[in-house]
Amino acid sequence: MNASTLTRPKAGWLSKALTAMRHSARPPFFMSLLKRTRFDYRKETGDCLDASVVTAPVLWIGRALPEANLAVTRHARNGEVEEVHDHPMLALIQNPNPFYGDIALWMATLVSFLISGNAYWIIVRNGAGRPAELWYTPHWMIEPKWPQDGGTFISHYRYSPGGGAEPMRIEPRDVVHFRHGIDPRNIRMGLSPLDGVIREIFIDLESSNFVASLLRNMGVPGVVISPKGGAMPAPEDVEATKTWFKQAFGGDNRGGPLVMGAPTDVQPYGFNPQQLNMSEGRDVAEERVCACLGIPAAVVGFGAGLQQTKVGATMEELRKLAWNNGVLPFARMLADELQRSLLGEFGPSTGAGTVKIGWDTSEVLALQEDEDKKVDRWGKMLASGAITVYEYRIGIGEAADDSHKFYLRQISVLEVPADGKPPPQRALPDPKTKAERRASEAAYARGHAFALTVQRSGDRLQRAFEAPLEMLFGQLGAAAGEAALPMLESDPALPKGLEGGRGEKADEQLIDAILEKLGIDAWNGRLRGSYEGHYLEVAKSIAEAGERAGLGASLPDVVARSIVAAGGRRAGLIDLENQSRAALFSALAEGRAAGEGAAQLAARIVSEVEGGPWRSAEMRARVIARTETKYAQNISTIERGRAAGVGSFIVYDGRLGPGRSLLTHMARNGSIATTEEALAMAEAEHPNGTLSFAPNFEED
């Protein structure tokens, strides 16, 4: 037998893939004693609740965290973030049970979390299985349990309420287990932040006990009373003298005159107070405990940290450091566990996008910017011309209105494009006679009046278009959910109430079937009809504005048909089929990842399909109505002017829109464009653009 035969593993030992994780059956054996000692410091330290060196920083964090507000936000696929103020999970945490509120709940949770590395909430459910109450449970009363073979990470929690009551078995879904990381010695538990400073905590406890004993009775005999001349008193005389001396000169009788009936020596006995100075050892304990919690010792009030404030670090900076290094990291750990263990108990989120839990620190005083620094920073941006006066006033907390929407820029500063070429110079107008100037001014006034009329009607037309669009998208989502539900209930890869996995191709087939049953062509027809009707209404409003400006009273049929046809073409750009397909893919992927059943998936499909690329049907309708109303006004103005014989248009560009340089913006505003140039500008305009046109009445 050769060496290779001896070392070869059994057949298949290396070829098998790991299909199920096997966890450690029990924590590895570690002695409770610390290294290089036989004294059990952990046992002697206890739960640390009576150690001031621990409770001072822990309770400081517990008092600080409620300054921040737990928040639920929805993150849409287009990058928008919306805070969900009325989420049921927030309401439950704010009023967890009939006996205490959220501040007491969080403070108790942090005490367990920071001392033991583990904190627990027990969920009490109502008849429908939804969380109805939350109860903080001390960390020594509950512990995770698992099978001996390690096949399951945690099978249940053992809750021992005490008082003669039998221990209870709590299912993992009914426990919110906050862990401070993972303890390598027991991977089911969190690692205590204070585990590495047990000796230092013991030092502080022993120092406190020693000083307290000395102050109670000096720790040693206060005086020595001895007879002179070598006399040997009887034991009963010694005891009687001791009792008499305590009564005569103890308590309120201290300092009275002493008269002895026989020659006696009375000598003081004790320590010099300077010999009992243990501040250095206690400073070490304070510094290291606070370091483990990420809190500067000076913030807590420990003398060890107050020296930092004498070498340049102000208390304001230290409080900010305590939040950034201590409070906020702990807060993020707690929010992460709520995201995992509690958020899903309230069903799928309404509306499109991902729901996340975090902390709103906008009201935390320690993190607020100094007012002087804030005003100075905003003032520098205003002086540089980077922001408007409106933005500056809003930034420093002052009231502002449209009259403040202008920049302050130095007259000596020249604008130079990135390519280094000088900006194009607009040609000066030819000199005009007085009559020509009056005519030009009158034409400009007519154009300005026309533009104002169009602008005022825009909001009304937009709102009128929003309502049918929102209804259409809502009905589309409901129809998609109704079409999908029976298919999801019969899907073999999705057992009722359980999550299931399936391939991408199977999902494509399912989505194709849903879209076919939905009849997406009919919905496209309804959308096109809404567009065409809206474009016709816009064209009529432009005709009324043109009538007041002198373009004529009638709206030629050829113009109306052209504008309505443009609305139909714009409806096709929505691509309702592909947007619905993407929403269905997203709903199925997110719902299966959350373990949702058929009914929950159908509800998610409703919200995803009606919102499309936006977070809701309302937002989707608002964006489309705003964009299409603006475009319809522009092409209606151009087509109506062309029908009246106008060959050029005044361009209005009210502000710097997305994707345009300042140079382009300045060049366009107030310029004159031909009909073809105006149509090209309207087609290329950004969805959030502000480009408008008015007929150039100077041609008259």
Assess whether 399 and 501 both reside in one domain.
no
Q: What is the pLDDT of residues 84-98, one digit of tens each?
A: 888 999 999 999 999
What's the pLDDT tens digit per position in 401-453?
777 777 776 655 555 555 555 555 555 455 556 666 676 677 767 777 777 77
Report residue 641 as tokens. Answer: 């002017």
Span 502-543, pLDDT tens digits: 556 777 888 888 888 888 888 888 888 888 888 888 888 888
Does 285 fall in a domain? no
Helix (H, G, I), strand (E, B), or coil: what is residue 162? coil
Are 496 and 611 contained in the same domain?
yes
- Compute the average pLDDT of residues 336-340: 94
pLDDT (0 to 100) of residue 429? 53
Within a domain: residue 455?
A: yes
Average pLDDT (184-194) is 91
User: In the predicted model, is pLDDT for residue 30 greater than 60?
Assistant: no
The backbone torsions φ and ψ at residue 359, rounded to the nearest 5 degrees and listed phi first, read -125, 130
Residues 398 and 520 both lie in one domain: no
Contact (Cβ atoms closer than 8 angstroms) between residue 616 and residue 368:
no
Same domain, 391 and 536: no
Same domain, yes or no: 522 and 590: yes
User: Is 494's pLDDT higher than 50?
Assistant: no
Q: Does a structural domain hold residue 566?
A: yes
292 compared with 20, residue with greater pLDDT:
292
490 and 626 assigned to the same domain: yes
CA 180 and chain centroid, separation: 20
354-404 pLDDT, tens digit per residue, is 889 999 888 888 877 656 676 777 788 877 777 887 887 777 777 777 777
Give 570-628 pLDDT, tens digit per residue.
877 788 888 888 888 888 888 887 778 888 888 888 888 888 887 788 888 888 888 88
Confidence of residue 174 (pLDDT cuts 50, 70, 90): very high
Q: Count of domains in the chain?
A: 2
**Cβ neighbours for 191, distance < 8 A, ≥ 6 positions apart:** 117, 180, 181, 182, 183, 184
Tokens for 371, please give them: 């007012």
Boundary residue ending a domain (387, 404, 421) = 404
Q: Is residue 447 part of a domain?
A: yes
Domain range for 550 is 441-644
Considering the domain boundaries, does residue 238 fall inside one?
A: no
The answer to the question of residue 467 being in a domain is yes
Cα 630 to the chain's mean position, in Å?
Answer: 35
Mean predicted confidence (pLDDT) in 194-218: 77
**Residue 618 within a domain:** yes
Last residue of a domain, one of 596, 626, 644: 644
Residues 466 and 584 in one domain: yes
Residue 481 and residue 392 share a domain: no
Q: Report, as an integer, the average pLDDT of 246-266.
A: 68
Average pLDDT for the chain: 78
Q: How many angstroms separate the CA atoms of 681 and 515, rounded?
A: 36
Q: Beta partners for 649?
A: 673, 695
Whether residue 539 sits in one domain with residue 467? yes
Same-domain status, 626 and 479: yes
Residues 489 and 629 in one domain: yes
Mean pLDDT, to the nearest integer, of 316-333? 89
pLDDT at 297: 86
Whether 461 and 603 map to the same domain: the answer is yes
Residue 51 in contact with residue 209, Cβ under 8 Å? Answer: no
pTM greater than 0.85: no
User: What are the DSSP E strand ranges found in 230-334?
Assistant: 264-268
Q: Is the dihedral of CA 144, 150, 155, 161 positive or negative?
A: negative
Boundary of a domain, candidates 621, 644, 667: 644
3-state SS assignment for residue 362? coil
Range name among 70-79, 100-109, 373-382 with the lowest pLDDT average: 373-382
pLDDT at 151 over 90: no
Q: Give me the residues paired with residue 144 across strands.
A: 157
The helix/strand/coil state of 179 is strand
Greater confidence, 467 or 666? 467
| % of the chain beyond a pLDDT of 90 | 19
446: in domain: yes
Rounded to whole angstroms, the Cα distance separating 374 from 361 reads 17
